[in-house]
Amino acid sequence: MATNAPTAMKKLLNRVEDLVPESLAGLGAAHPDLVTIDAPNQVVLRAGGPRRGKVALISGGGSGHEPLHGGFVGLGMLDAACAGNVFTSPVPDQMEAATRAVDGGAGVLHIVKNYTGDVLNFQMAAELVAGEIEVSSVVTNDDVAVQDSLYTAGRRGVGVTVLLEKIAGAAAEAGASLADVTATAVKVNANGRSMGLALTSCIVPAAGTPTFELGPDEVEVGIGIHGEPGRRREKLAPVDEMAEWLVSPIVSDLGLGRGDSVLAFVNGMGGTPLIELYTAFNSVARILGGQGISIGRSLVGSYITSLEMAGFSVTLLRLDDELVRLWDAPVHTPALRWGV
């Protein structure tokens, strides 16, 4: 443990300032068959370099949300991920370097979560390569909890980002054009919504203190992925009730009804064990089933986190045959693998 860390904070690190580069180095050491690390630019790249004629996908954002995004670099998902400091956007130079590194001549799609720093910096990166590389972008804004927050203008980009990276990545892997991959990404974003809650806050290493305080019997409903407070504070309740708090606004916002099929994604915020996440999924399944909404595909686990925050989010994506086919397509990344 670093001697310069606050005594109230226990984390696996050497020095706070080395946490992100050492984490990236560890990712590369653990998965050399899947990724390589551009250490100077803090970029995770798909091993083997760019594929000629394939649309490349880039995402990124602040660290602290692992496995998002570096854990999703590989076959059938991302070609590169840019890592900022914890809860801090990467800079345009990183995004420019990633864009140049993965360009295979068919264009590059930037997948951007709707946080002001990410949006502006990805825009600047696209301008830096304009005239040399064709760049398209999609901004995820699936969080139904709040319209504006400390980090955004409009809705935040959260759980749908994982699903979009997988589905658009499958389209790119199959040889779709930049216009078609972008259209697929836009379709996923339009048909997916998310909302989450926290049982505890998280501690940003550089700060050493919780991002908000909760009483022992309180939960924060509608949190974002940067540890920001949510829509309201409630008393701890049975998971059936807490799942209802999240599912109902999503179903309403999407206009889901009897006969619809969804991909149901129950995501852990970083500090919640799988036994509790599957319990939450059971609640979600019962709620949806009671409304005649079927679960065509599912994902359960901690895939877009907020450091060690305990809690969960629910993401629902309205499915059709195309989205099911692309979801089922092979994927092989450090964090997600099937069909290979």
Strand arrangement, sheet containing 35-38: 35-38, 43-46, 80-86, 56-63, 108-113, 135-140
Half-sphere exposure (Cβ direction) of 312: Cα atoms closer than 13 Å:
30
Beta bridge partners of 138: 111
The three-class DSSP label of residue 135 is strand
C-alpha 116: how far from chain center: 16
- Take residue 334 and report the two structure tokens written for it: 């450090």
Half-sphere exposure (Cβ direction) of 99: Cα atoms closer than 13 Å:
27
Measure the CA–CA gap between 227 and 223, rounded to whole angstroms. 7
Q: Which position among 31, 110, 226, 332 bears the catalytic label?
A: 226
Looking at the chain, list the stretches that DSSP marks H as alpha helix, in order from N- to C-terminal side: 19-30, 92-102, 116-128, 160-173, 178-190, 239-254, 274-290, 321-328
Angle (CA) 329 334 339, round 5° = 25
Dihedrals phi, psi of 153, to nearest 5 degrees: -110, 110
Q: Which position among 31, 65, 69, 110 bears the catalytic label?
A: 65
Specify whether 332 is catalytic. no
Dihedrals phi, psi of 111, to nearest 5 degrees: -105, 115
Please name the helix (run of DSSP H) or strand (run of DSSP E) that holds residue 331, with its range, or none.
Answer: strand 331-332
Residue 292 exposed, middle or buried by CB count within 10 Å (0-12, 13-18, 19+) = exposed
Q: List, by residue number, the catalytic residues.
A: 65, 226
